[in-house]
Amino acid sequence: MASQNEVDDMIKRIQTSKGVQGLIIVDTEGIPIRTSMEHEVTLHYASLISQLIIHAKRVVRELDSSQELEQL
């Protein structure tokens, strides 16, 4: 497992990448645990991300029931 410093460094690299406008980290239930965006915007995108994950898992299951989509 990565240390807190390693996680912070990764987040900084992502945030400073060209084209990145914000960062949201959600838990497995889609609840935002870290964000660089305004609260309402974070909630909106977290909801969309959760829906995308549900649909992606369903597609993976339908394509090959022996496989499962894993979240990082």
- What confidence tens digit (pLDDT) does each residue in 9-68 have? 999 999 999 999 999 999 888 899 999 999 999 999 999 999 998 888 888 888 877 766
- Stated pTM of the model: 0.71
Strand pairing of 24-26 and 32-35?
A: antiparallel
**Largest Cα span, the chain:** 39
11 Cβ contact list (under 8 Å, min separation 6): 23, 25, 34
Q: What is the pLDDT of residue 72?
A: 55
Indicate the CATH number for domain 21-72.
Answer: 3.30.450.30
Asked if residue 24 lies in contact with residue 42, where contact means CB atoms within 8 angstroms, the answer is: yes
Residue 1 confidence (pLDDT) above 80: no
CB 56 within 8 A of CB 48: no
